[in-house]
Amino acid sequence: MSIRVENISKRFGQFQALQPLTLEIPDGELVGLLGPSGSGKTTLLRIIAGLETADTGRILFHGQDVTNVHVRDRRVGFVFQHYALFRHMTVAQNVAFGLEVLPKAERPSAPEIHKRVANLLDMVQLGHLAKRFPSQLSGGQKQRVALARALAMQPQVLLLDEPFGALDAKVRKDLRRWLRSLHDELHFTSVFVTHDQEEALELSDKVVVMSAGKIEQVDSPQELYSRPESRFVFDFLGHINVLDAQVKGSRLQQGAAWVELPKAVTVPMAQLYLRPHEVHLQQTPVAHANLPLTINAVSLIGAEVRLELQPDGWQADEPWEIGISHAQYNAWQPMRGDRCYAVPDIGHLFMQGVTEPETLTWASTLIQDPNFPKRSAHLAEVS
């Protein structure tokens, strides 16, 4: 079931929750609405569901205008962040509830309801818990019951509002994997709201990045990460190291920090964005960059060691973050207060008056100091 959101806007009093926006969601896709609090993503989801009424525009399901169709007639399944299960009902009764309250003419027979509930509980791997009450379930199990309840109505569209927000990190990851697998098996159209960048990029076929009631970019996770179209998208998708500097010919300079650009730039000011994996560290500056930093903190997180660094002799709005491997950490043993230099391999230059960044690359300089960690092989050359 494809969805078209056409020129939809919404205002709550003096607050403009949604600017007029248009969005196409193809049949069978899993689409993530990603943005910070107040960006309008939940309002948009509720308008699609029929739980809110838009001020302007219309909603089409598979080409049919459903703008004025009541929520109960849209065949939309809705899964909330906090489950909304009935505490006095068993798992099976919760899943069956929507079917049992249908008008008599639409209600399946009791054996059909029992069969559908049993099949759904098996699908969400909770058949053995059918007689338990919500208070006897874990958070992940409750969310799977809520999903089974939504699917029981055989919806045309499944909508999920921060479905994993109340769960711990490991359970969230397991449920994301499970939902992606279930979606690939059943091929229903799904739209989910999240403010978690990793969740959106891992789970979605397409990601809709929203800010201040408008759509910033719609793209696949790969394209979104590799080709952000605005500063907001860049800033929102993970940590970014930023050099805000004056332009002097082909050099960006701020205080003690400078970077030679591959070509001259004519604007007076520019910002160089460097993702943590697009920059490496060494003990001395190189010919194309002098970015002195002092280590603030060392965090051993997962597969990498993350260094938080403070600019030395220049200013940045936020500390820099750069990751190194555990092998590099063991060879170097960096400590708080150590001085080092950042060397950019790939950068993204935002210039005044230009919306989209220009991607830059520099010829790499191999680290010769035996007491400093060498970069991994895939960073040895940057074309």
Encode pLDDT of 77-109 as tens digits: 888 877 788 999 999 999 999 889 888 888 999
Is the confidence at residue 168, as pLDDT, over 90? no
Whether the Cβ atoms of residue 75 and residue 155 lie closer than 8 Å to each other: yes
Number of domains forming the structure of the chain: 2
253/342 same-domain check: yes
In this prediction, residue 374 carries a pLDDT of 44
At residue 235, the pLDDT reads: 84
Q: Has residue 364 got a pLDDT over 60?
A: no
In 3D space, the residue among 261, 235, 238 whose CA is nearest the CA of residue 248 turns out to be 261
Q: Hey, which bits of 13-81 come out as E strands? A: 15-25, 30-34, 56-61, 64-65, 76-79
Are residues 202 and 318 part of one domain? no
Candidates 126, 73, 51; CA nearest to 95 is 126
DSSP state of 118: H
Kindly list the strands in the beta sheet with 56-61, ordered across the sheet, starting from the edge strand earlier in the chain: 15-25, 3-12, 56-61, 64-65
User: pLDDT class for 354, splitting at 50, 70, 90?
Assistant: confident
Q: Can you give the pLDDT at residue 376?
A: 37
Residue 233 covered by a domain:
no
In this model, does residue 45 exceed pLDDT 50? yes
Q: Provide φ and ψ at 199, rounded to 5°.
A: -60, -45
pLDDT tens-digit profile of 292-325? 999 999 998 778 899 999 999 999 999 999 999 9
Q: What span, in angstroms and rounded, lies between the C-alpha atoms of 305 and 174?
A: 24
| pLDDT computed for residue 84 by the predictor | 80
Residue 383 lies in a domain: no
Residue type, 164: F
Domain end point (choices 204, 226, 248): 226
Q: Look at residue 215 and tell me whether its pLDDT is greater than 60.
A: yes
Q: Is residue 382 part of a domain?
A: no
Residue 277 backbone phi and psi in degrees, to 5? -85, 0
The answer as to whether 262 is a domain residue is yes
* 199 shares a domain with 84: yes
Q: Are 128 and 194 in the same domain?
A: yes
* Alpha helices per DSSP H over 187-269: 197-203, 221-226, 231-236
Query: Residue 351 sits in which domain range?
Result: 239-376
Whether 218 and 349 map to the same domain: the answer is no
Q: Would you say residue 328 lies in a domain? A: yes
